[in-house]
A and B are shown apart, each in its own frame.
Chain A
């Protein structure tokens, strides 16, 4: 089973690399870095803070874009290009195929994010910053967030067409970063009409803020590594849940 998952993952990774996904992503990250410098000039805030904030937020957006562009389309492309026929007619279950695709896509996203993250660290050092635990935690947080985003993208991709799956992934991203705000809305007397709805959304949408450590970098707050560990564990659990859903939906598909 592991062999087949590894084979599918390797092909998925190679496909993204040869389709120049890494190159385009690197160009995107470079653009962000330069833009952060421009914003630093225009902003009243400290240039270094601007560079750090914008670069790391850009890394987060890059993770989202990868999930929307390559994750949400992945299964649909296999069906559309009929490559699925020659794969599933082998000794490969649909669950193995979905897991293999996921592992390959996460590997692509992590490779892109790590390369871009490394460039951004250099960029921060150039502007007088130092590389400490906070920036490492922020990058690790983005990597953990990608675990959940990619699994949601695959789940939605197994359920709907790529456009809807991409939009759904985007909604999940915003909802995941706004869950704490939703919880706050249910406190006190505010939002009484929608209280029930907000509570449900708060409970079912994973809290992506659990792995968001970008503010720690810019504000110089110390990193609570236990918190990051907890956040990472919840992302893994959610990824497993979404992936199980994607596999269950994919098993029902007729080709």
Chain B
């Protein structure tokens, strides 16, 4: 069986913003290349100003690149018809405030080529799905940020597009809303849709995405599957035990980065993937009791800080 077809293709994308009169040009993208395959949930990560939004604007046709190409489902992203199969949720979605959610979905659905009958049939289901059915006939003007975010997601889904482009989809949502949106993203993936998401909440990206690309200073610094990028071996262990002999306590304390005693109980934080299990075995061998041994693996967040920190230092070095 061959690899799934490519849905988003970005090749050597450059974007430089030239000032109208005075000032220096600002380069947002410097040769960005990546691709997203059908059915993937893809995370596009980067610090503020890394070039994520610029890439999304090129992909949605709001901006033209200075150099390079971007395509959606095989068609150039600048072609309006390429966007027929795209559901886009911008960061902080803005709507026509005078419309109601029902009218807004009709508006966006019709713009995406959905027939009036289909829009009418889908609207109640979608509003229920994002749980704003109770305000279906209220003007958007009075909506909170979370309600707008939910409506934005419904608007992205109204044409049932095979590709979803979500910019900070969990921004401004309460815990219940975040859970709901994550559920919807997972359901869409299960239905075979491709999801391309940008988010600063890396725990969510780790939970939802298979693959990430990290952008730093307009350059792709990492591209790969999350499980390949993160170290699978534990970075450290937290050992909690009681009835530990004094001599062994002293050895554990000496090897720990953090150590705490509370009566008969000790809690030690030891680095590496070997020491923790070794000390646990020694405690048991010396007649003590291991209460817990918790491995601490690298999270996407710690990995991201490490990668972008390294890339930042490398860039600063090369710039100087």
Does B108 sit within 8 A of A, measured CB to CB?
yes
A219: B residues at CB distance < 8 A: none
List chain B residues, Cβ under 8 A from A226: none
Looking at the complex, which of A27-35, A81-89, A157-165, A231-239 is the stretch in contact with chain B? A81-89
The residue in chain A whose Cβ has the minimal distance to the Cβ of B15 is: A254
The residues of A that contact B111 with a CB separation of less than 8 Å are 4, 7-8, 87, 90-92
Tell me how far the C-beta of A165 lies from the nearest C-beta in chain B, rounded to whole angstroms: 17
For B84-114 the 0/1 string (1 means CB < 8 A from A) is 1010101011111011000100011011110
Q: Known contacts being A19-B98, A93-B80, is A85 close to B112, with CB within 8 Å?
A: no
Instruction: Tell me whether A11 is interfacial, beta carbon within 8 Å.
Output: yes
| Given A87-B111, A91-B81, A91-B113, A11 and B60 contact (CB-CB distance below 8 Å) | no
Q: A91 near B90 (CB under 8 angstroms)?
A: no
| Cβ of B64 under 8 Å from chain A | yes
B contact residues around A11 at 8 Å (CB)? 96, 99, 107
A82, A86, A89, A254 pick with most chain B CB within 10 angstroms: A89
Verify if B155 is at the interface (C-beta below 8 Å from A): yes
Contacts A85-B62, A89-B61, A90-B83 hold; do A7 and B94 have CB atoms under 8 A apart? no
Residues of B contacting A15 in the complex (Cβ-Cβ under 8 angstroms) = 96, 98
User: A46 interface residue, CB < 8 Å from B?
Assistant: no
CB distance from B36 to the nearest CB of A (A): 17
Check if B62 sits within 8 Å of A3, measured CB to CB: no
Does B57 interact with chain A (Cβ within 8 Å)?
yes
Total interface residues on A, CB under 8 Å, equals 25
- The CA of A89 and the CA of B88, in the complex, are separated in Å by 7
Q: Is B254 an interface residue (CB 8 A)?
A: no
Using A15-B96, A86-B155 as known contacts, say yes or no to A4 and B110 having CB atoms under 8 A apart.
yes
Partner of B94, one of A82, A90, A93, A254: A82
Task: Check: B135 CB closer than 8 A to any chain A CB.
Answer: no
B60 touches A89 (CB 8 A): yes
CB pairs A–B below 8 angstroms (29 shown)? A4-B111, A7-B107, A14-B99, A14-B103, A19-B98, A82-B90, A82-B94, A83-B95, A84-B62, A86-B88, A86-B94, A88-B61, A88-B62, A89-B61, A89-B62, A89-B83, A89-B165, A90-B83, A90-B84, A90-B88, A90-B108, A90-B111, A91-B81, A91-B83, A91-B112, A254-B62, A254-B63, A254-B64, A255-B62
Give A residues with C-beta under 8 Å from B: 3-4, 7-8, 11, 14-15, 18-19, 81-93, 96, 254-255
